Amino acid sequence: MRLTVAQALVRFLANQYSERDGSEQRLVAGCFGIFGHGNVAGVGQALLQELEAMPYHQGRNEQGMVHAAAGYARMRNRLSTLACTASVGPGSTNMLTGAALATINRLPVLLLPGDVFATRAAGTVLQELEDPTSYDVSVNDCFKPVSRYWDRIERAEQLAPALLAAMRVLTDPADTGAVTLALPQDVQAEAWEWPEELFERRIWRVRRPLPEPAALAEAAALLRGARRPLIVAGGGTIYAEATDALRELAATTGIPVAETQAGKGSLPYDHPCSVGAIGATGTTAANALAREADVVLGVGTRWSDFTTASRSLFGDETAFVNLNVATVDAFKHAGLPLIADAREGLEALAHALEGFSVEDDHRERARALAVEWDEVVERAYTLGHGPPPAQSEVIGVVNRISEPRDVVVCAAGSMPGDLHKLWRARDPKGYHVEYGFSCMGYEIAGGLGVKMAAPDREVFVMVGDGSYLMMAQELVTAVQEGIKLTVVLVQNHGFASIGALSESIGSQRFGTRYRYRNPDTGALDGDLLPVDLAANAASLGADVRHARTIDELEAALREARASSRTSVVHVETDPLVSAPSSDAWWDVPVSEVAELDSTRAARSGYEQHKRTQRTYLSTRDGVETQ
Ligand SMILES: Cc1ncc(C[n+]2csc(CCOP(=O)(O)OP(=O)(O)O)c2C)c(N)n1
Ligand SMILES: [Mg+2]
């Protein structure tokens, strides 16, 4: 069959399916694109020709397209994703941040940056990087470290093996992430005779590896010997649809369950074994149990520094059992690697732990701590502060008016931490905070992908003014495509999170507020800038509602939820009221020498915390096994 490289690519993608547990879905369900000379003739023409087979969505910023694809993939538990086509040069490099986000969060996205002529016949093209040491290099080489598979299709013959490799990586539960196929603009438009088999329907089974019997036996023996065990549920628990298995294991053994950002929602917040968020943005319940734990079972977690409170949370002698499909995570903290799919591993563990249950005092203590934290949450939800209200009250209202299956989306600023601590999750897919990359600007674009992946759910995007200013433009895409979002725009006139962090390291909130520059002193300490983000949102086509008080916010949110149109609800909050403390630390360095007293004071506090940092090298000898 004679088609161009781009036509063959699109037709191939339209015929790829993923399969797990007997259910199949399109692996690449659609394609976002922004056209330029690097892709308009090749992939652009092919998308037009193949429109029935491959839905096309017009993005506004290439970074936003990749965020949407990542949000989509996460919502679909990594079984389906979207492709993104970009022009050569800046259109392509705009996707770099999205690629890093996807790879760090282990989310499959397929990136198709245009590339410079393979023939080089036209000479240096518009937007081409000229590396005097090698004409083989283009800006697309920047994608290599942030891609799990990277290739450049210089000849038509290379396409088929590259496509198979790309699908293998997209559907690999351990190695998935951004897949980048750089497409030279001339090659995209070249014709070739393709074998018919290339376009046959192909099914990619997403595997569920079983744990090795020896490792399983060792893990079960360690857990049976534990007196104060704790489970830490990470994103892998949700991606593997292992939440029922987790609930079962927790219920029968009584082991308390804490959750990372990506793992939040693994258990409903009011499950008797749930102790909520863990780590720097955790609950006092989970963090107290973490400090006391002798054996910790991590399920599908990367053990980021937020989760471990920069290695200060768990004790020196804590033994880790890491149930993870990715070897890199399974070996962390000198843990016992239980390399397996989370659901298979949890079911096998439940079997191996039959008859085992934690002592009543451990179960009761965990429950009491969780109830205590929930009272803290209730108080934070109903502070009665302001106007302007506190952020925790805004979170409380969104939680109260949303239904269990609704999805809350967030990524950066002070809200992800507050949501981690305070959000009462009721559904495994109801909490979607991107905190692997914590990328400002993900919120609206990622929320768009979430809604595309789950059109039957209501999506609440929580976005700070700073993140909004980085990337609001996919609101236009939402309006264009009729994809309904409810955006809660939290205006606190600056980077409140970094302001608080700055203060904690002695830098006095320097450079974190939106104020006029004082012409006399040169400092940014003048009046607040008259930035009207609500007017901005209205100008992009959203329905905008203002809320001054919590009651107004509730009314506005209910209206927005009931509406079929994309809404932005604008609310000002007080940046100086922070969420309840988690009793945990996060390692951010403080200057060792300074002229400022504030820095010197912060440094001495920092040094105290540094002393609590551990290496997590336990050989597990201290834990009895049974
Ligand atoms: C792209 C990007 N740049 C910088 C940062 C560092 N950073 C984290 S939060 C933040 C400020 C966020 O401001 P806003 O969205 O208004 O939320 P707030 O902190 O006020 O809650 C910054 C600059 C980041 N996470 N992502
Ligand atoms: Mg802000």
Encode pLDDT of 324-359 as tens digits: 999 999 999 999 999 999 999 999 999 999 999 999
CA 604/CA 271 separation, integer angstroms:
41
Amino acid (one-letter) located at 568:
V
| Closest CA to ligand 1's atom 17 | 413
Q: Using CA atoms in the order 501, 448, 32, 29, what is the torsion angle rounded to 10 degrees?
A: 120
Among candidate residues 269, 273, 268, the one with its CA nearest the CA of residue 256: 273
> Strand order in 28-33's β-sheet?
56-58, 28-33, 81-86, 109-115, 178-184, 149-152
Write 402-405 long-range contacts (CB < 8 A, 24+).
402/430, 402/458, 402/460, 402/561, 403/458, 404/430, 405/429, 405/430, 405/457, 405/458
Amino acid (one-letter) located at 92:
S
Q: What is the position in ligand 1's atom list of the atom closest to the CA of 467?
A: 15
Beta bridge partners of 461: 409, 487
pLDDT of residue 626: 67
Statement: the pTM of the whole predicted model exceeds 0.75: yes
Is ligand 1 within 6 A of the CB of residue 512? Answer: no
Is ligand 1 within 6 A of the CB of residue 498? Answer: yes
495 Cα to the center of ligand 1, angstroms: 6
Q: How far is CA 90 from CA 100, 139, 143, in A?
A: 16, 9, 13
> Strand order in 407-410's β-sheet?
431-433, 407-410, 459-464, 486-491, 567-572, 543-547
410 Cα to the center of ligand 2, angstroms: 13
391 burial type by CB count under 10 A (0-12 exposed, 13-18 middle, 19+ buried): buried
DSSP, res 389: P
Q: Which parts of the chain sit beneath pLDDT 50? A: none
Q: How far is CA 467 from CA 490, 533, 544, in A?
A: 10, 11, 18
pLDDT of residue 535: 98
Residue whose tokens read 């990277």: 150
How would you classify residue 583: left for phi > 0, otherwise alpha for psi between -120 and 50, otherwise beta?
left
Is ligand 1 within 6 A of the CB of residue 440? Answer: yes
CA 519/CA 111 separation, integer angstroms:
46
Q: What is the position in ligand 1's atom list of the atom closest to the CA of 469?
A: 15
Q: Which two tokens stand for residue 106?
A: 């282990």
pLDDT of residue 489: 98
pLDDT of residue 520: 87
